[in-house]
Amino acid sequence: MTTDDSILLRGVRVHNLKGIDLDVPLDKLIVVTGVSGSGKSSLAFDTLYAEGQRRYIESLSSYARQFLERMDKPDADLIDGIPPAIAIQQRGAAKNPRSTVATVTEIFDFLRVLYARIGIVHCLGCGRPVARDTIDGMITELLREAAGTRAWITFARPRDAGLAPLRKDGFTRALVAGDIVDIEAVPKAVRALDVLVDRIALGVDDRERLADSLELGLKKGEGRVVVRTEDGREYRFSEKLECRSCRLPAEDPYPNLFSFNTPHGACPECHGFGDLAVIDEDKVVPDRSKTLDQGAVEPWTKPLSRGMQKELLTEARRRRIPTNVPFRDLRPEHQRFVFDGGDGYYGVKGFFDWLQSKKYKVQVRVLLSRYRTYVACPACAKTRLNPRALSVRVKGLNIGEVVRMTVAEASAFFEGLELEPFQRQVAEKLVQEIRGRLRFLMEVGLDYIALDRMTFTLSGGEAQRISLAAALSASLVGTLFVLDEPSIGLHPRDNHRLVRILRSLKDIGNTVLVVEHDPDIVRAAEHVIDMGPRAG
Ligand SMILES: [Zn+2]
Ligand SMILES: [Zn+2]
């Protein structure tokens, strides 16, 4: 046997391994099995993975090496033929507290680019779709009129801009209340002239002429042109991205608009966190059977805030708010007065606002946290994105609505997404990447997981299977993948899918080594290393 097709291990003495010799075939699906304490992990992680990782790091420049954790050389006489290694473990999958299933699988990155490229912007004023008009689109729309319909093509020009330049360019007539008049004859009261470009019979005069006139109108009308039919219908076209009905300008989306951790995309209310910190009134008045006299407002029962309690009682008596009646029996407006203040009194809210300004003191932060609770941000409905980002839709859904879907729902959404011919060139590859990643997540049995699920809330098995799906999507080859009981937490009926995933990881040109007890997985292995009690 040569080192070309096997990893050679001789005299390995890592942890409880007592000088074992072993040949591990490359490019195979291998299962390491054995009772607990037999040295499965010592072999898989502390020897094979550790050495593969160590050699990989050694191969990097000294500059790159300083950023990576150095690994100790495993204790052995010989380790040969080992490829670069990646461990897919249960623990330590999520380091970033803000990462979600969509971000760690890169689905979110592809989504952002997809939304920037083919998303349809909607008007922030009226919610209607906003799009640029193209000459082709304008002609298509106009030719829906009955053939022979007479129409005037005009552009708007403020009278203040003067008439001489118009004359110089050969524009001599304008449209006033449906009549064509000389521009000199337009009544002074009309501040904006509808300057006539052409008079045309739709569908009769040739398309070329219509296109030229529309183009000229756009050029002279600073990107806008108006077409009126003789029976009073009006078409307002614009080559700017702006709402046709409210004229509100819009901007083309770009990938960073959809990042909640940049100022471009973050919701201004919650700064991209999705939640808002508010004062929890149930914590401020934890016992509603207490009267104001008895200290219903809990934070003001502390010795340091005796002054606030006294002020509350004075202000309440002045307004004939009973201080000897249980808080829950006070009239709603009196309860609100205690919380919100008003009429010269600061109330509980004013007190906490004041504390907020003293947040640099540790004890104040502790006090604030005791009465704080988090509510879903009402501005962005937990999507963390600002209204501009949420105004961009693909197939009717904004990006926040897509990441709220489960893997199975998102998969159905993208499988059913049909691209227009003009979108294919810019979006087909992106959609394929997204579909592929969703398919891998389905394959590893995570169809029920929402894409916006925070990764730190995943179980160890779920996190590991997400890493597995990510490794598959990355299409790495020539690598040793080491996995730790990937079947844990997986329903037995999904074991065959896991096996299929492990096989495809191997089939693209990797060695896959799995520490596993599950008989289904052991049976699927091409090579079994049994660490049984005697082997260790
Ligand atoms: Zn609008
Ligand atoms: Zn928000």
Distance 250 CA to ligand 1 centre (A): 10
- Domain 6-93+459-530 fold is Rossmann fold (3.40.50)
| Beta-carbon contacts of residue 432 (< 8 Å; ≥ 6 apart) | none
Please identify which residue in the block is written with the tokens 């501005």.
Answer: 379
> Which ligand ends up closest to the CA of 243?
1
Distance 116 CA to ligand 1 centre (A): 20
Distance 281 CA to ligand 2 centre (A): 21
Whose CA is closest to 195, among 150, 223, 226?
A: 226
Please give the ipTM for the structure prediction.
0.96
Domain spans in the chain, listed from the N-terminal domain onward: 6-93+459-530, 132-238, 275-376
What separation, in Å, do the N-terminal and C-terminal C-alpha atoms of the chain show? 24
> Which ligand ends up closest to the CA of 122?
1
> Which ligand ends up closest to the CA of 241?
1
Helix (H/G/I), strand (E/B), else coil: 234: strand
Per DSSP bridges, beta strands 179-182 and 372-376 are unpaired
What tokens appear for 324 in the block?
Answer: 């000897």
> Which ligand ends up closest to the CA of 273?
2
Q: How many CA atoms lie within 13 A of 102 on its CB side?
A: 24
Per-residue pLDDT of the chain (536 residues; tens, 9 = 90+): 444 689 999 999 998 898 999 999 999 999 999 888 888 989 999 999 999 988 888 777 777 677 666 677 899 999 999 998 888 877 654 456 778 899 888 899 999 999 999 999 999 999 999 988 999 999 999 999 999 999 999 999 998 888 888 889 899 999 988 888 998 888 888 888 999 999 999 988 789 999 999 999 999 999 999 999 988 899 999 999 999 888 888 999 999 999 988 899 999 999 988 888 888 999 999 999 999 999 999 999 988 888 999 999 999 999 999 999 999 999 999 999 999 998 889 999 999 988 888 888 888 888 888 998 999 999 999 899 999 999 999 999 999 999 999 999 999 999 999 998 888 999 999 999 999 999 989 988 899 999 999 888 888 888 888 888 888 887 778 889 999 888 887 888 888 888 988 998 899 899 999 999 899 999 999 999 998 765 44
Query: Sign (positive/negative) of CA torsion 463, 469, 474, 475?
Result: positive
- Domain 132-238 fold is Ribulose 1,5 Bisphosphate Carboxylase/Oxygenase (3.30.190)
> Which ligand ends up closest to the CA of 244?
1
Q: How many angstroms separate the Cα of 394 from the Cα of each of 109, 223, 240, 250, 398?
A: 15, 26, 20, 17, 6
| DSSP per-residue string spanning 27-66 | SSEEEEE--TTSSHHHHIIIIIIHHHHHHHHHTS-HHHHT
Question: 275-376 maps to which CATH number?
Answer: 1.10.8.280
Angle at the Cα of 346 from the Cα atoms of 281 and 267, rounded to 5 degrees = 60
| Beta-carbon contacts of residue 479 (< 8 Å; ≥ 6 apart) | 83, 84, 85, 86, 510, 511
The answer to whether 141 touches 235, Cβ cutoff 8 Å, is yes
